[in-house]
Amino acid sequence: MSKTDITRAFAGGKAFIPFVTCGDPNIETTAAVVRALAEAGAAIIELGIPFSDPTAEGPVIQNANVRALAGGTTTDTVFDLVRDVRAGRPGTDGTFAAADATAPVTTPLVFMTYANVVFHYGIERFCQRMVEVGVDGLILPEVPLEEKDEFASVCAQHDLAFISLVAPTSAGRIQAIAREAEGFVYLVSSLGTTGMRDTFATDLDAIVAQIREVTDVPIAIGFGISTPDQARTMAAKADGVIVGSAIVAQAAEAASPAQAANTLGAYAKAMVEAVR
């Protein structure tokens, strides 16, 4: 797996990119949901490593981070999760009976977390482990263009995509960010934090046009999207659609890993159909 796998994920058409908070409500549910999302046709799956101060997130994902941390989810827990779903293991203990094995998840996977998590773990060590378990890219939403090299340079050494965000507040920096984009450009749909929205006031067409002038890297729009109609509208503007809070909320409400997988598998199929 590598950053080129992320770009290839857009080759088959518009991409549906779901996000999950790892460890909420538990790591077994996360594993089941990741498999269900992959089977439903997700082009890329974003895995959120929980952090105590997720500044880009709204209440739904903030609360999911709190629950995941309270439940004992660590960065190493998430690395083990990826290892297991890549290997086709049903659990996260490193062992499984052959009869219980499931199909390995081959969908490109991207970590979304915060700089403190990576820095505390050790940037080189973190990137090396990403390669070992099969993660293709990294998103650190609070790291600005001017400060990204500390992380992006190490990602580059390991053939990992350091994925950049363009926000409505990026203004005169949009094209500077886009010129250095890898994997895909994460276009933030609205001012504020993540969370489901009814309306979108940002002139996304104008931002997309600016990005297109300087790069052919795919563009995926995220923040606030939760319904098939919204996904269809956003996919018409860009190359992909990212959905987080709506997925995290449904995972948290599920009574069991199987129920979460069934519910989110059906939801993902509807979203995949909408974006395409």
* Contact present, 225 and 242 (Cβ < 8 Å): yes
Residue 118 belongs to what H/E stretch?
Answer: helix 115-121
Mean local confidence (pLDDT), 204-220: 94
Here the contacts of 71-76 (C-beta below 8 Å, separation 24 or greater) are 71/23, 71/24, 71/25, 71/26, 72/23, 73/22, 73/23, 73/24, 73/27, 75/49, 75/117, 75/121, 75/126
In the chain, the amino acid numbered 236 is A
Does 166 have pLDDT greater than 50?
A: yes
Verdict on whether the full-model pTM lies above 0.85 = yes
Res 195 pLDDT > 60: no
Look over the chain and give the mean of its residue pLDDT values, rounded to a whole number.
89
Q: What is the pLDDT of residues 98-151, one digit of tens each?
A: 334 578 999 999 999 999 999 999 999 999 999 999 999 999 999 999 999 999
Please, are residues 197 and 219 in contact by the beta-carbon 8 Å criterion? no
Average pLDDT over residues 156-174: 90
* Whole-number pLDDT of residue 127: 98
Of the given ranges (49-58, 75-84, 156-165, 173-182), which has the lowest mean pLDDT?
49-58
Residue whose C-alpha is closest to residue 62's, from 222, 261, 249: 249
Q: Cα–Cα distances in Å, from 164 out to 17, 136, 139, 143? A: 15, 14, 7, 9
The pLDDT value recorded for residue 100 is: 46
pLDDT at 91 over 60: no
Residue 59: what pLDDT? 84
pLDDT of residue 5: 85
Residue identified by tokens 């005169």 is 172
Alpha carbon 31 to chain centroid distance? 14
Instruction: Give the DSSP H or E segment for 269.
Output: helix 257-275
Token pair belonging to 49: 């490593």
Does residue 259 surpass a pLDDT of 50? yes
What's the pLDDT score for residue 192? 46
Which helix (H) or strand (E) segment holds residue 129: the answer is helix 123-133
Tens of pLDDT, residues 11-33: 989 999 999 999 999 999 999 99
Higher pLDDT, 53 or 164: 164
Helix, strand, or coil here: 152? helix
pLDDT of 95 above 50: no
d(CA 62, CA 21): 9
> Distance (Å, rounded) from C-alpha 228 to C-alpha 233?
9
Region 74-94: mean pLDDT is 82
| Residue bearing the bigger pLDDT, 189 or 8 | 8
